Structure 1
Amino acid sequence: MTDNVLTHEVNLTDVAAQKVKSLLEQEGRDDLRLRIAVAPGGCSGLRYELYFDDRLLEGDAVRDFDGVEVVVDQMSVPYLAGATIDFADTISKQGFTIDNPNAKGSCACGDSFN
């Protein structure tokens, strides 16, 4: 990465960072970053995309969390400012969760927001 890489205000909890590291170790890859983006779709208008990516695109904002790079594209940065990515592993819920203070509401299934 270059010195002029933008940063973002998305946070990754320690639990989520450890889960990402574990998934990357299972994949045997050390060249992937966790990318979070906002895209049109879902019942409420916008949905989250969370996936591993080996690319770093122009305008991407990056933060490192103990060796886990989280990347947000330039268009998604304002929608995700202050959001926290966590990982839940309970009987009722398992997977990554996103607590976003910018979301005014979400659909009943939790897959999209506005």
Structure 2
Amino acid sequence: MADIILSARAAKRINEIMGSEPPGSSLRISVNGGGCSGFSYAFDITHAREEDDVVIERDGATVLVDPVSLEYMGGSTIDFVNDLIGQSFKIENPQATASCGCGTSFAI
């Protein structure tokens, strides 16, 4: 399974968000059934790691992904974009065959 890459921009934004959270907090990204295209990404702040979590770290930022979600996200790049329509985390997933304009929904 290919690794998940965390961009420098995403790491910087995660660090900014976690600055107001309790020490040891992490960003959890998971894949859920549903959404416009069949699957959707969920972004949550968590204060606990599960034993089987995959830990992705860069520049002091930590992202947790559960093993089931990793099956759908392998090879992805997590980025943070700031454009005319707003700011958001963007996941470039090579496994996705289609995505939705919402930016958090995809199909495999």
Q: TM-score, normalised by structure 1?
A: 0.84
CA contact (8 A) 2:6 2:57 kept: no
Residue 5 of structure 1: aligned partner = none
CA contact (8 A) 2:6 2:56 kept: no
Residue 32 of structure 1: aligned partner = 25
Runs of 4+ in 1 over 4 A off after TM superposition: none
Residue 50 of structure 1: aligned partner = 43
Q: Structure 2 unaligned runs (5+)?
A: none
Counterparts of residues 59-70 of structure 1 (less than 5 Å): 59-70=52-63
Residue 87 of structure 1: aligned partner = 80
User: What is the rounded CA distance, in whole Å, between the counterparts of 2:72 and 2:21 in structure 1?
Assistant: 32
| Cα deviation code 1:11-54 (max 9, x no counterpart) | 111011111111111x1432111111101011211000112111
Count of aligned pairs between the two proteins? 106
Deviates more, 1:61-70 or 1:12-21: 61-70
Instruction: State which structure, 1 or 2, has the greater radius of gyration over its C-alpha atoms.
Output: 1
Residue 8 of structure 2: aligned partner = 14
CA contact (8 A) 2:18 2:26 kept: no
DSSP 3-state at the match of 1:96: strand
- Aligned-pair distance for 1:80? 0.6
User: What is the rounded CA distance, in whole Å, between the counterparts of 1:53 and 1:28 in structure 2?
Assistant: 10
- Aligned-pair distance for 1:10? 1.4
Q: Structure 1 unaligned runs (5+)?
A: 1-7
- Aligned-pair distance for 1:97? 0.9
* RMSD of equivalent CA atoms: 1.5
